[in-house]
């Protein structure tokens, strides 16, 4: 994680200090569960709770120094933790456990809490987009397919689709949260050989997790699903940002990103107001997509486990969460302050297309009057060619055409008729 795209709350969740703190809590909870089951003295478990250290920068530095000797991060953590407790009861730390019991369970706590942050932020973004959809449902603009004018739509219809896409992202994120809120404390290959299942259950319940069957590690399809859900949300933000980038182009000019006082769009050209937020969102989505592929590579491990996933996850899990949180917050700012140029959008629709956005309406009007569809298509296609060649409008060439008398001109060129169902798109949106 680089500071430029790292939200402070996500940084705190994935910090070494917080990770060690959760690992420490797992270790103490195990001791307490062992004591409750009569496996170790209750007094020792109480002593461990009382002596549980505060995890600070010195603790983190001591673990790093110890790891330089042990070349094993969890062993170094256990050594330092036992030293901090400095009491015979410390012998019960890590009793019956393997490294992944503590590492995986602690990481699932962190990922669950991190997803809560992501979900809250995507929910806020969705609410902003939905509100803009409702506010702009009556604001027309040209619909575009293949980047070309098609038929009219409205800003509200366009934004409503993004709001509903974020609804689906929230469903995926919620399911991923459920799948990752799990833990395991079943020992070296997951057989409970040196620790009883009820200990796992008790500790997981205390942490707000669900105990699940596992090998030495929790199955990595869960983590892959989490990263996919993040990548999907990132792709939705990218789609929204890409739409804004296209509509903001100089020759289109239908929207503008918010531009703060004192902001500069270019170091060389003072007039520039570049869509930098949208471009940044599009760029970062590529990174998160790459992490989804990498997470899938981590699913297949040797036998009951190997360690090939570990180094990967130290990079991609905090990065993916951080980037999607950052992107969602930027997208929320973008949509909150988005400037919509209604007049320019209407001008592009009516004048820029020279009425050709109504070509299907003319086609269907001729069909309604008994024309063969292909014949009607050729008639309107010829009219469109005439519009281009004479720099005219569809309305102007149609009224001069021999078939004009059979067409209801006012109805054919009614913008209101084409978007008359627009309010359907904002039903139950807020």
Q: Is 266 a catalytic residue?
A: yes
d(CA 376, CA 362) in angstroms, rounded, equals 9
Report helix, strand or coil for 40. coil
Burial class (CB in 10 A: 0-12, 13-18, 19+), 206: middle
Contact status, residue 61 vs residue 47, Cβ threshold 8 Å: no
Q: Is 361 a catalytic residue?
A: no
Contact status, residue 185 vs residue 218, Cβ threshold 8 Å: no
Contact status, residue 190 vs residue 215, Cβ threshold 8 Å: yes
Burial class (CB in 10 A: 0-12, 13-18, 19+), 108: buried
d(CA 430, CA 411) in angstroms, rounded, equals 33
Q: Which two tokens stand for residue 139?
A: 């604001």
**DSSP single-letter state for residue 328:** H
d(CA 357, CA 351) in angstroms, rounded, equals 10
Burial class (CB in 10 A: 0-12, 13-18, 19+), 202: buried
Which one is catalytic: 146, 271, 303, 421? 146
Contact status, residue 59 vs residue 53, Cβ threshold 8 Å: yes
Which one is catalytic: 72, 175, 266, 388? 266
End-to-end CA distance of the chain: 35
d(CA 135, CA 130) in angstroms, rounded, equals 9
**DSSP single-letter state for residue 407:** S
Residues labelled as active-site residues = 146, 266
């Amino acid at each position: 994680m680089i500071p430029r795209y790292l939200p402070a709350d996500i940084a705190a969740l994935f910090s070494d200090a917080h990770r060690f703190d959760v690992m420490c809590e797992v270790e103490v909870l195990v001791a307490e569960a062992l004591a409750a089951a009569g496996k170790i003295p209750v007094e020792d478990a109480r002593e461990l709770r009382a002596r549980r250290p505060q995890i600070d920068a010195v603790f983190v530095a001591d673990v790093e120094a110890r790891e330089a000797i042990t070349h094993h991060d969890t062993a170094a953590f256990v050594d330092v933790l036992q030293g901090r407790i400095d009491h015979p009861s410390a012998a019960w730390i890590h009793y019956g456990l393997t490294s992944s019991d503590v590492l995986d369970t602690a990481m699932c706590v962190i990922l669950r809490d991190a997803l809560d942050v992501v979900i809250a932020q995507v929910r806020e973004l969705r609410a902003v987009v939905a509100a803009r959809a409702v506010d702009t449902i009556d604001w027309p603009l040209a619909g575009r397919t293949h980047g070309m004018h098609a038929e009219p739509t409205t800003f509200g219809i366009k934004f409503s689709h993004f709001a509903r896409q974020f609804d689906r992202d929230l469903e995926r994120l919620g399911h991923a949260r459920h799948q990752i809120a799990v833990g395991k404390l079943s020992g070296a290959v997951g057989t409970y050989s040196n620790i009883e299942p009820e200990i796992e259950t008790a500790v997981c319940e205390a942490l707000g997790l669900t105990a699940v069957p596992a090998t030495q590690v929790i199955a990595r399809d869960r983590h892959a699903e989490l990263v996919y859900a993040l990548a999907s949300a990132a792709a939705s933000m990218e789609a929204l940002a890409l739409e804004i980038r296209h509509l903001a182009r100089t020759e289109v000019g239908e929207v503008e990103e918010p531009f703060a006082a004192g902001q500069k769009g270019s170091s060389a050209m003072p007039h520039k107001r570049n869509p930098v937020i949208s471009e940044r969102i599009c760029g970062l989505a590529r990174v998160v997509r790459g992490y989804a592929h990498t997470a899938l590579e981590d699913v297949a491990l040797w036998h009951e486990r190997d360690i090939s996933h570990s180094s990967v996850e130290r990079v991609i899990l905090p990065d993916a969460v951080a980037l999607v949180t950052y992107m969602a917050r930027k997208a929320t700012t973008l949509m909150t302050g988005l400037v919509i140029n209604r007049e320019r959008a209407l001008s592009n629709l009516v004048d820029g297309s020279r009425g050709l956005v109504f070509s299907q309406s003319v086609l269907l009007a001729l069909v309604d009057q008994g024309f063969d569809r292909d014949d009607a298509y050729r008639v309107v296609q010829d009219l469109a060619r005439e519009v281009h060649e004479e720099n005219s409008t569809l309305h102007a060439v149609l009224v001069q055409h021999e078939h004009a008398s059979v067409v209801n001109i006012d109805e054919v060129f009614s913008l209101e008729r084409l978007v008359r169902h627009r309010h359907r798109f904002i039903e139950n949106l807020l």
